[in-house]
């Protein structure tokens, strides 16, 4: 079972949320936590405080100067549907013990993943 807690940004589908929850991953979403419309800077601060890994499609998290966060996974997969991106994300998160996620920014792509430099 997952040791980390994940918060799905509002741009991650509810179907993906359900997929991850069914696999017993510790997952919450901006929707389930009543955080719709929260500013990115506030979201990052909340995730750091609550020790949540943020999962998002929002590339703004790569370009802003965010240094103090608990972890970010940018899902850079197209199409961003649950059938495609959601299944790849689930497989990636099931390997969390093999990957250093905490305090890292990870870019998840269709066939690979990498740390943001």
The region that residue 61 occupies, defined by phi over 0 for left and psi between -120 and 50 for alpha, beta otherwise, is: alpha
Say whether pTM exceeds 0.85: yes
Query: What would the pLDDT profile of 30-86 be if each residue is shown by its tens digit?
Result: 999 999 999 999 999 999 999 999 999 999 988 766 778 999 999 999 998 889 999
Query: What would the pLDDT profile of 91-116 be if each residue is shown by its tens digit?
Result: 999 887 878 999 999 999 999 999 98
The number of folded domains in the chain is 1
Question: What CATH number did the domain enclosing 59 receive?
Answer: 3.40.50
The rounded Cα 4 to chain-centroid distance in angstroms is 11
Terminal-to-terminal C-alpha distance of the chain: 29
The domain of 31 spans: 5-115
pLDDT (0 to 100) of residue 65: 67
CA distances from 94 to 1, 41, 45 (A): 8, 28, 25
């Amino acid at each position: 079972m997952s040791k980390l807690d994940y918060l799905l940004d509002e741009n991650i589908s509810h179907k993906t949320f359900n997929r991850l929850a069914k696999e017993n991953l510790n997952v919450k979403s901006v929707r389930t936590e009543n955080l719709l419309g929260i500013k990115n800077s506030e979201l990052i601060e909340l995730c750091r405080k609550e020790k949540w890994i943020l999962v998002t499609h929002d590339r703004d998290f790569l370009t802003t100067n965010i240094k103090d966060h608990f972890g970010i996974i940018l899902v850079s997969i197209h199409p961003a549907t649950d059938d495609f991106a959601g299944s790849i994300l689930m497989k990636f998160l099931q390997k969390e013990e093999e990957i250093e996620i905490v305090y890292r920014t990870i870019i998840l792509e269709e066939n690979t993943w990498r740390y943001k430099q």
